[in-house]
Structure 1
Amino acid sequence: MNLMIYERIKELSSMGEIVAGDQKERKLISKFEKMFSNIDDRKIVPIEVLNYSSETYMEGEKKIEAISLPYSPDIDFDGKIVRDFKSCNNSGILIILDNLYDINKFYIKALENQCQFIVFTLDNNLRKYVVKTPPFLNLSASIPPPIPAFYIRKNDLDYIREKISIKNLTKIKRTTGYIFEIIKNAKKDDKIYVSAHHDHWFTGEHDNLASLALFPEIESSIYELHLITFTAEEAGALGYSSFSWSFGSRYYLDNVVKNLDNIILNINLDNINPFSPVVKISPGLFTLSTKYFNVKREIEIYSDGYSFFKKGIPSLTIEGINPNYHSDNDTVNKDEEKGFYDILHKINTILNTEIVIDNLEIKENLVNIMENLPLPLRVNLVNITNNTFLDKKPTSIYKLYGGIYNFQERYAKVKPFPLILGLDSVRANTSKVFIEGKPSMELRPVDKEYYAHLMEQFIDYYINSIHELSKDIL
């Protein structure tokens, strides 16, 4: 019997939370695989991930339901909890958030003030978020979180006075996560990857089981279609990497796919709101995607589509604003099904038309950026915009983009020439800035002489990178 989208979501969510590498993950893949029993070309790819689980006990005026945030360490504490950092030495601290993405700013402040632990709340949901240590956006190993962080419901604040008891027992281990891939029309030359992730916090129905529920009805009669669901999008990166998300897709594109040349597009589905979908695109996709969606001309760094983009593959991510993001109330209602089918129809329309990447849009985007770059780099960019480089493979320029996280801001952003723009940001805002890398780079306010020296290094780096890209293509 063919299930409707809503029924598929509920069937998948009946298994509860799926953390990368836990015992239930393989069972979820088996359940999902049965939805494609009529397709012979299916692959399950095991990868090594860092699994986290914990048992948490918290008591104030009464026992409080608390969540230990990955990858918090053990603690056995009985003592004071305060609400300001000045009083935090050898105590814990309680923080009421305005936004979940502020967690790591407060976590770093707790470390600086020698807090023993930190307790967060935002609203009356339970929520999860990975705590990290700097440098942020680090694709290499990072220092494990040295103090535990917890999350409670806001209506439990009345039960926390000056004293609190907390015990946290954790298990952190390398285990196996799974990537599942379905291939349709395997004899075509051009390939399109439709991606999602199956690991999820709590019930995770919007984020991200609804995306999986669309897969059985996604079709293309023109292209070789790869429907792929990744492990370790929410967490699971080895070595406590502070670029903690999208580990499964990075691993897959680095180690599993042998040839990226024929991948012409990635459509990434993540945390979809069917009533008001948000679509974020890489340069060159505006003309294609604006026919069907309201589009933001920005690249989504916090999802698997970014892994494709960094390989020079055009990517659009369909997502949405979810007030119950990463919470125990992330559930889909029956009245959302029509919206999901509308999104499905638009995806299938794209997949069954000729995909044209707008080279002129990519070139114009590059020209607009050039105004803010140093003269030696502008000269090199003028040369490549005036020859056949961008006509042969314009999306190769994506490899010159990267993540920038200004510590004064809430979210990381994706920009071209991030080392140069990051250094300019440090000089303008006197705030430290982190640049994605392996390892990432932390830029701090510097004097003029050192700034000039760094800028010369970064200009040389990008000029050499442009020359290497040119040699690969021309």
Structure 2
Amino acid sequence: MSSVLSVDVRDVREVRSLARALCSVGEVVAGSRSEYDIIELVASYLDELGISFRLEPVECLTWLERGCEVVLDDGTRVPARAIPLSPNAVVEGRCVYVGTRLRESEYSDLDVCGKIVVSDWSTHDLDDLKYQYIAAVNAGAIAFVVIEPYLDDGFRRIVVTYSKDYNFAVGEAPPVPVVVVPKIWGLKLVERLRSGSSVKMRIDTSVEVKHGIGYNIVVDIGGRVESEEILVCAHHDHWFTGYCDNVVGLATLLWLVKKLVKSRYTPRRSIKVVSFTAEELGRPRFAPWYWIYGSYVYVHRHVGELVSKCIGVLCIDAFVTQPLEFYVTPDYQPLVGKVLSRYDWLRYEVLPPSIYYDSLNLHVVGIGGVTVSSLDALMKFYHTNYDTEELMSDGDLVHLLRVVADFINEMSTDYVPSVKSVEEYLRRRLKVLDLEIELRIPSLYVLKLIYREFLKPYYYGVYGKDFDKIYCDLVPEVITGSLRSEVRELLAEFSVEKLNKLRSRVVVPGSEEILVDVPSIDVVKQLASRSRDVALHHLHYVAKYLDYLVERFQRELLSRLVKLGVEVK
């Protein structure tokens, strides 16, 4: 198999050529004409090679910018782009600069009612833009203008919803327009506003929001063992040119399919190659969890087959350069170690699964695997009009292709997901809850059940108040043990600063299930501003409640593990 997926300069040229052709389509939004154009390119390429494929429809929300105009009262036209999911609107008003305000309470000293808010983009997490928007709108703003944080003449699209949570079901459509202006124009505007000048602005956003049909593209490469398969995936929708995120991923899939089929080599395991739609945006009804929707539909449509046959997933997304990021479930950590040991010069980081990639939808139904990315290195250009071919060198592309080839060589032949790695990982996680146990997972089937039961995204804190990323890990309930330790430390050595860093809630975004809720922590924070002794008194009750929660989770987790078939000692 190694000769089939070897990589040389000709492969780099082919992937480059494919990526250029795919980029010619421009911005690709799920359910749009441009998606059909890129599918036609893919279909033509596969047809010429005599490779069969199928298209699976996905009903989705489609948002398209038809035009965006920003004009100042002196006639100056400011370059701007609408931010999804901005509505159609024409508004005119006086501008007010607000910095990077995230919370509604931060508007208590500033009157923005009936005005157009001009805001810096919080770089703590670019996705916090929705909280900036919600705070301004709830304070009375009639439009929101955000300044591109890094690129002097660049534009960026990050989806904005009008819901603080991340539920799967339904959300409110953003009520007022939101646009981005390049950094250099934003700085000029802020300079005028800070000087005390009165600035009026007219914003005209022309957008189309509709019910659309996107398509997942699926190629089946048969293996010698029909009962086992691996899934290799990327996505084909993208904002602006989207070279690194994720045209190169799609081009790599096409290169892979050609390489395998034209070699006439039959791998041991079948390989299912899938390009997903609606990764960037697509979940209907303005649902706040708007991303990785095409893969969500695919997984739920084929969940029985996946659970019974799929050994693992390899996802390629948002790759640009070193350091590489490998988002890995515990059962694939030994494979990652094996593959990366061949590249002693490669800079990389191995991380837990991430909620930002299509692989998540496979992980939570029981399929382990690896996602290859370098999102942190791409962040300056992420979702911008500067995500172009020039960002990636031929050397970077060689690294990607070789690593992908090595993973597929291993996964499609004899790699068996490591049950022992998951056993050890679970033991370490459960120790945080003072559960010192030995456990044995008797089969891969039980391993998949464990992922379905315990692998979850989680948000540690309260939406719109405690600003953090959404994480993903096994048994997020163990945070209760960490929280108890922090409270015990505070009882031993009280500090208002440390107290204010405590979080009171753990929630599962999407389902919005609350795993842990200790509202009395917020009460103690309020008391601490008035009386240290009273706060400490109430903190003792918090500690006792956390003791109760830890004991409850110990019992529940052990019971759930046993019911799944895990042998516990």
TM-score after normalising by structure 1: 0.88
Does residue 360 (structure 1) correspond to residue 420 (structure 2)? The answer is yes
Partner of 1:227: 273
| Distance (whole Å) between structure 1 residues aligned to residue 71 and residue 513 of structure 2 | 39
| TM-aligned CA deviation for residue 181 of structure 1 | 0.7
Rounded Cα–Cα distance in structure 2 between residues aligned with 1:422 and 1:63:
53
**Matches of 1:243 and 1:307 in 2, distance apart?**
13
User: Per the alignment, do residues 290 and 172 of structure 1 end up closer, same or farther by CA in structure 2, a change over 3 Å counting?
Assistant: same
AA aligned to 2:157 is K
The amino acid of 1:103's aligned partner reads L
Letter of the aligned partner of 2:46 in structure 1? Answer: F
Structure 1 distance, partners of 2:43, 2:393, is 24
Deviation at 1:335, TM superposition (A): 6.4
Comparing 222-231 with 354-363, greater Cα deviation is found at 354-363
Which of 5, 10, 15 does residue 25 from structure 2 map onto? 15
Query: Superposed, which structure 2 residues align to 1:177-188 within 5 Å?
Result: 177-186=214-223, 188=225
Q: Secondary structure at the match of 1:404?
A: strand
User: Residue 212 of structure 1 is aligned with which of 250, 253, 278?
Assistant: 250
How do residues 180-329 of structure 1 correspond to structure 2 at under 5 angstroms?
Answer: 180-186=217-223, 188-189=225-226, 190-218=228-256, 219=260, 221-260=267-306, 261-293=308-340, 294-320=348-374, 321-322=377-378, 323-329=380-386
Deviation at 1:279, TM superposition (A): 1.4
- Give the direction of change, closer, same or farther, for the CA distance of 1:396–1:297 in structure 2 (3 Å limit): farther
Distance change in 2, residues 1:50/1:419 (3 Å): farther
Distance in structure 1 (CA, Å) of the matches to 2:391 and 2:92:
46
Measure, in 1, the Cα distance between the counterparts of 2:174 and 2:480. Answer: 26
CA RMSD of aligned residues (A): 3.0
Check the 8 A contact 1:313/1:395 in 2, yes or no.
Answer: yes
Following superposition, the deviation at residue 209 of structure 1 comes to 0.3
| Contact 1:309 1:398 survives alignment (8 Å) | yes
Instruction: Give the distance between the partners of 2:517 and 2:137, measured in 1 at CA.
Output: 19
What is the aligned residue count?
A: 464
Q: String of CA shifts for 1:339-397, please: whole Å, max 9, x gaps.
A: 22332222222222321322221111111111223x7xx48xx4xx5344466532432
Alpha-carbon distance, 1:216 to partner: 2.8
Q: What does 1:166-177 align with in structure 2 at a 5 Å threshold?
A: 166-177=203-214
AA paired with 1:246? I
Q: Which amino acid aligns with 1:155?
A: I
The more displaced of 39-48 and 402-411 is 402-411
1:396 paired residue number? 449
User: CA 1:50–1:120 in 2, change beyond 3 Å: closer, same or farther?
Assistant: same
Alignment of 1:70-109 (within 5 A): 70-84=84-98, 85=107, 86-99=110-123, 100-109=126-135
By how many angstroms is 1:40 displaced?
A: 4.0
Please say if 1:340 is aligned against 2:352.
no
Aligned equivalents of 1:191, 1:9: Cα separation in 2? 27
Shift of 1:132: 2.1
Q: Which one has the largest radius of gyration?
A: 2
Say whether 1:386 aligns with 2:386: no
Once structures 1 and 2 are overlaid, which stretch shifts more, 328-337 or 61-70?
A: 328-337
Q: Which amino acid aligns with 1:271?
A: A
Of residues 486, 489, 509 in structure 2, which corresponds to 1:436? 509
Report the equivalent of 2:78: 64
Equivalent-residue separation in structure 2 for 1:206 and 1:421 (angstroms): 35
Q: Distance in 1 between matches of 2:137 and 2:477?
A: 27
Distance apart, 1:313 and its partner CA:
0.6
1:48 to 47, 52, 59: 59
The alpha carbon displacement at 1:280 in A equals 1.4
CA displacement, residues 6-42 of structure 1 (integer Å, 9 cap, x when unaligned): 1111100001000011012112112012222235441
Is this contact kept in 2: 1:46–1:177, CA < 8 A? yes
Please report how far the alpha carbon of residue 464 of structure 1 lies from its aligned counterpart in structure 2 after TM superposition.
6.5
- Give the whole-Å Cα distance in 2 for the aligned partners of 1:146 and 1:454: 41
Letter in 1 for 2:185: D
The whole-number CA distance in structure 2 between the counterparts of 1:456 and 1:164 is: 58
Tell me which protein shows more helix as a share of its residues.
Answer: 2
User: Aligned pair in 2 of structure 1 residues 236, 334: CA closer, same or farther (>3 Å)?
Assistant: closer
CA distance change for structure 1 residues 36 and 257 in 2, over 3 Å: closer, same or farther? farther
Q: Which moved more, 1:51-60 or 1:230-239?
A: 51-60
User: Compared with structure 1, are the counterparts of its residues 145 and 429 closer, same or farther at alpha carbon in structure 2 (3 Å cutoff)?
Assistant: farther
Give the Cα separation in 2 of the matches to 1:465 and 1:143.
Answer: 36
Is it true that 1:470 corresponds to 2:484 in the alignment? no
Distance 2:58 2:444 in 1: 37
> How far apart in 2 are the matches of 1:458 and 1:430?
18
Question: Equivalents in 2 of 1:132, 1:200: separation in Å?
Answer: 18
User: 1: CA distance between counterparts of 2:282 and 2:97?
Assistant: 31
The gaps in structure 2 that reach 5 residues or longer are 1-9, 99-106, 194-198, 261-265, 341-347, 488-500, 521-540
Candidates 163, 168, 181, aligned match of 2:200: 163
Name the SS for the 1:229 alignment partner. Answer: strand
By how many angstroms is 1:306 displaced? 0.8
Equivalents in 1 of 2:329, 2:61: separation in Å? Answer: 30
Label 1:443 to 1:391 Cα distance change in 2 as closer, same or farther (>3 A): closer
Please tell me whether the aligned partners of residues 363 and 390 of structure 1 are also in contact (alpha carbons under 8 angstroms).
Answer: no
For structure 1, the residue ranges without an aligned partner over 5 or more in a row are none
Tell me the CA shift for residue 436 of structure 1. 2.0
Q: Which residue of 43, 49, 52 corresponds with 1:33?
A: 43
CA separation of 1:464 and 1:104: change in aligned 2, threshold 3 A: farther
Percent identity, aligned pairs only, is 21
Deviation at 1:459, TM superposition (A): 7.0
Cα–Cα, structure 1 residues 196 and 130, in superposed 2: closer, same or farther, change >3 Å? same
Cα distance change of structure 1 residues 117 and 405 upon mapping to structure 2, 3 Å threshold: farther
Q: Secondary structure at the match of 1:182?
A: strand
* 1:288–1:356 CA contact under 8 A, matched in 2: no
Offset at residue 94 of structure 1 (A): 1.4
- Contact kept? 1:138, 1:440, Cα under 8 Å: no
Q: Secondary structure at the match of 1:240?
A: coil
